């Protein structure tokens, strides 16, 4: 039996980078094949060429043994290739059925389409009401629409791009069941991820890319997560060094019944949130994206100014009605999730970006004049201490890769030695080596007596990094408990909104 998909010598050059360098591998019928690699390793480019969004500069794609040219996504679907993207393309105001109808190449009468959708959902256990409006659905349910949309075409190969990054552990388990059923019926699956334990649990084969090159094709069940991670990043991994049994200091950041006002139609506000972070403690806030994390960060950083001075206190001092500048002077620094355009200005030099948040704490302003020398020196220190790959303080923030920019931003805040640091997605899109460095810097900052809040969707990160954990769901925060007391299942249930057991506990 020929391979379902076979790539030989696929090469793709972009201005300045070789995104794929002679990549060759094969996917057998019914195989769940992982495509593994850091951000920027070339995974996305590779699948875009398989799905016809881009054309390779060189190399050959064989489909069921025959050489093919995939001119565009429509041609790919015609061959039997389906793809579920990381970012969904759904119209929030339309129903599930309408969204699926819009995505079909052929016009199908809506009654027939509905019965076909129901049949597919029945077969694979994908529960979903075709007449519900997308805006009312959870992220996991939205992903099911995309999967149903792909399955309606009876694909022989289904490409899943980072499908679990927004799902709760329970939703991940349901997804895996669907994928295993599909594979058992002979549909091949190309599964893109950087979550190693998922790949170990799900996949038959893993192809690892690094810097556009194929590093290894291996059986993930024979490998450890660590060995695969080291192949992915190319060097040994460092563990977080954490002092054991250190007692926490007195309460530093106390949040008491904090609420925000909903700003946009699809925004989720923070609703009556209370928690305490002690000196030396790292508190993790877990949750599925879009459950009020952004509002929580804005309310803590001062971008959203509340009307209760005592709702947020640092060392007992009320800062709830202060703006970001005043809060920074009180020792609270924050890093929002979005790097470019929020945490940093792409068109500005790194030096000028340091002025954005460090100008008052580090005396970069004298009588309204900016001391550009001080900004430059500080920026140079951030670049050196956090191993930021940049030409120097004069490089524009926009010219840095996502991971390097994140290292710079985290360094800019951490080296200010804030007494309270609030960060959202500190290692999102950052390679494993850099992520380890950022984690270590956060641990060291806490060890020096700061209180830290880490808002993240990455459970592995939170479990490795944090001392205590709380879960945010629809703007409400669960009680805080030591991270060791949580099982993955329990966190998952909380992320999905099951609060009852927690509140009585």
If you search the block for the tokens 């005396």, which residue do you land on?
363
If you search the block for the tokens 């170990």, which residue do you land on?
200
Of 156, 357, 416, 424, the one binding other proteins by CB under 8 A: 357
- Compute the least distance from the CB of residue 306 to other proteins, in Å: 15
Closest Cα partner for 141 from 434, 497, 503, 504?
497
Of 22, 342, 463, 476, the one binding other proteins by CB under 8 A: 342
Within residues 399-418, the interface with other proteins by CB under 8 A covers: 399
- Cα 54 to Cα 48: distance, rounded to the nearest angstrom: 6
Instruction: Specify the stretch interacting with other proteins by CB under 8 A; choose among 159-167, 272-280, 330-338, 439-447.
Output: 330-338
Q: Is 53 one of the binding residues for other proteins (CB under 8 A)?
A: no
Looking at residue 196, the DSSP 8-state letter turns out to be H
Of 369, 500, 503, 504, the one binding other proteins by CB under 8 A: 369
Give the C-alpha distances (Å, rounded to integers) separating 301 from 306, 417, 452: 11, 16, 13
- Cα 367 to Cα 318: distance, rounded to the nearest angstrom: 28
Instruction: Indicate the residue among 142 and 328 with the shorter CB distance to other proteins.
Output: 328
Instruction: Indicate the residue among 108 and 365 with the shorter CB distance to other proteins.
Output: 365
Closest Cα partner for 270 from 476, 496, 498, 503?
476
Q: Which residues pair with 370 in a beta bridge?
A: 365
- Compute the least distance from the CB of residue 181 to other proteins, in Å: 35
Of 2, 9, 67, 71, the one binding other proteins by CB under 8 A: 71
- Cα 463 to Cα 458: distance, rounded to the nearest angstrom: 9
Number of residues this chain uses to bind other proteins (CB under 8 A): 38
Q: Answer for the pair 289, 142: CB distance below 8 angstroms, yes or no.
A: no
Q: Answer for the pair 155, 83: CB distance below 8 angstroms, yes or no.
A: no
Q: Which residues pair with 63 in a beta bridge?
A: 5, 66
Closest Cα partner for 276 from 314, 322, 329?
314
- Compute the least distance from the CB of residue 192 to other proteins, in Å: 23
Q: How many Cα atoms occupy the beta-carbon half-sphere of 61 within 13 Å?
A: 21
**What residue ranges in 100-236 does DSSP mark as E strands?**
157-161, 188-193, 205-210, 213-218
Q: Is 347 one of the binding residues for other proteins (CB under 8 A)?
A: yes
Q: Is 55 one of the binding residues for other proteins (CB under 8 A)?
A: yes
Structure-token pair, residue 337: 């999730």
Q: Is 398 one of the binding residues for other proteins (CB under 8 A)?
A: yes
Of 29, 346, 380, 402, the one binding other proteins by CB under 8 A: 346
Q: Is 396 one of the binding residues for other proteins (CB under 8 A)?
A: yes
Of 368, 500, 503, 504, the one binding other proteins by CB under 8 A: 368
Instruction: Indicate the residue among 218 and 370 with the shorter CB distance to other proteins.
Output: 370
Structure-token pair, residue 120: 């597919």
Q: Is 69 one of the binding residues for other proteins (CB under 8 A)?
A: yes
Site string for other proteins, 10-49 (x = CB under 8 A): -----xx---------------------------------
- Cα 494 to Cα 473: distance, rounded to the nearest angstrom: 7
- Cα 338 to Cα 354: distance, rounded to the nearest angstrom: 17
Within residues 290-329, the interface with other proteins by CB under 8 A covers: 301-303, 323-325, 328
- Compute the least distance from the CB of residue 64 to other proteins, in Å: 20
Give the C-alpha distances (Å, rounded to integers) separating 389 from 23, 46, 84, 408, 414: 27, 25, 33, 9, 18
- Compute the least distance from the CB of residue 25 to other proteins, in Å: 20
- Compute the least distance from the CB of residue 22 to other proteins, in Å: 15
Q: Is 341 one of the binding residues for other proteins (CB under 8 A)?
A: yes
- Compute the least distance from the CB of residue 15 to other proteins, in Å: 8
Secondary structure of 457-486 as H, E, C letters: CCHHHHHHHCCEEEEEECCEECCCEEHHHC
Instruction: Specify the stretch interacting with other proteins by CB under 8 A; choose among 226-234, 263-271, 344-352, 463-471.
Output: 344-352
Q: Is 142 one of the binding residues for other proteins (CB under 8 A)?
A: no
If you search the block for the tokens 């991270």, which residue do you land on?
483
Chain length of the chain: 505
Of 57, 162, 216, 444, the one binding other proteins by CB under 8 A: 57
Q: Between the CA atoms of 177, 181, 184 and 186, what dihedral angle is there, to the nearest 10 degrees? A: -120
Of 370, 464, 474, 502, the one binding other proteins by CB under 8 A: 370
User: What interhelical angle do 488-495 and 169-184 show, nearest 10?
Assistant: 100
Instruction: Indicate the residue among 71 and 102 with the shorter CB distance to other proteins.
Output: 71
- Compute the least distance from the CB of residue 41 to other proteins, in Å: 20
Instruction: Specify the stretch interacting with other proteins by CB under 8 A; choose among 284-292, 395-403, 462-470, 472-480.
Output: 395-403
Q: Is 440 one of the binding residues for other proteins (CB under 8 A)?
A: no
Q: Is 140 one of the binding residues for other proteins (CB under 8 A)?
A: no
- Compute the least distance from the CB of residue 276 to other proteins, in Å: 25
Query: What percent helix, strand, coil does the chain show, rounded to 5?
Result: 35, 25, 40
Instruction: Indicate the residue among 160 and 296 with the shorter CB distance to other proteins.
Output: 296
**178: how many CB neighbours lie within 10 A of its CB?**
16
Interacting residues toward other proteins by CB under 8 A: 15-16, 55-57, 69, 71, 301-303, 323-325, 328, 334, 336, 338, 341-348, 352, 355-357, 359, 365, 368-370, 372, 396, 398-399
């Amino acid at each position: 039996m020929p391979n379902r998909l076979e790539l030989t010598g696929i090469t793709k050059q972009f201005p300045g980078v070789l995104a794929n360098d002679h990549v060759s591998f094969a996917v057998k019928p019914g195989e769940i094949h992982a495509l593994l690699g850091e951000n920027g390793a070339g995974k996305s480019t590779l699948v875009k060429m398989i799905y016809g969004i881009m054309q390779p500069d060189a190399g050959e794609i064989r489909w069921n043994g025959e050489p093919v040219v995939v001119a565009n996504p429509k041609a790919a679907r015609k061959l039997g290739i389906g793809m579920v993207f990381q970012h969904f393309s759904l119209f929030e105001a339309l129903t599930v059925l309408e969204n699926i109808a819009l995505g079909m190449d052929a016009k199908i009468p809506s009654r027939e389409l509905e019965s076909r959708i129901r049949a597919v959902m029945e077969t694979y256990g994908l529960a979903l009401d075709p007449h519900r409006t997308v805006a009312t659905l959870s992220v996991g349910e939205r992903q099911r629409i995309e999967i149903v949309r792909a399955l309606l075409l009876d694909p022989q190969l289904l490409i899943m791009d980072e499908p679990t990054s927004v799902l709760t552990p329970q939703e991940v388990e349901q997804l895996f069941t669907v994928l295993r059923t599909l594979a058992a019926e002979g549909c091949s699956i190309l599964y893109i991820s950087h979550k190693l334990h998922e790949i170990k649990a799900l996949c038959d084969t893993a192809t690892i890319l690094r810097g556009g090159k194929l590093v290894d094709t291996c059986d993930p069940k024979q490998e450890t997560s660590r060995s695969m991670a080291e192949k992915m990043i190319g060097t040994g991994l460092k563990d977080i060094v954490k002092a054991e049994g250190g007692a926490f200091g007195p309460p530093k950041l106390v949040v008491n019944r904090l609420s925000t006002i909903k700003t946009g139609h699809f925004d989720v506000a923070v609703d009556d949130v209370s928690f305490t972070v002690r000196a030396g403690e790292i508190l993790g806030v877990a949750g599925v994206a879009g459950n009020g994390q952004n509002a929580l960060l804005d309310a803590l950083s001062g971008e959203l100014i509340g009307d209760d001075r005592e709702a947020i206190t640092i060392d007992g001092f009320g800062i709830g009605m202060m703006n970001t500048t005043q809060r920074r002077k009180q020792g609270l620094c924050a890093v929002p999730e979005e790097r470019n355009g929020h945490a940093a200005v792409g068109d500005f030099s790194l030096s000028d970006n340091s002025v954005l948040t460090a100008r008052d704490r580090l005396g970069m302003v004298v009588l309204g004049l900016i001391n550009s020398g001080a900004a430059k020196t500080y920026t140079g220190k951030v670049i050196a201490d956090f191993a930021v790959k940049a030409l120097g303080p004069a490089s524009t923030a926009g010219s840095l890769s996502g991971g390097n920019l994140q290292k710079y931003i985290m360094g800019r805040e951490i080296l200010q030695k804030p007494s309270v640091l609030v960060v959202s997605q500190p290692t999102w899109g950052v390679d494993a080596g850099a992520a380890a460095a950022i984690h270590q810097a956060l641990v060291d900052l806490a060890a020096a007596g700061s209180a830290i809040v880490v808002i993240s969707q990455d459970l592995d990160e939170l479990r490795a990094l944090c001392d205590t954990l709380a879960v945010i769901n629809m703007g409400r925060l669960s009680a805080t408990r030591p991270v060791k007391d949580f099982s993955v299942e329990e966190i998952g249930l909380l992320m999905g909104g099951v609060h009852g057991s927690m509140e009585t506990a």
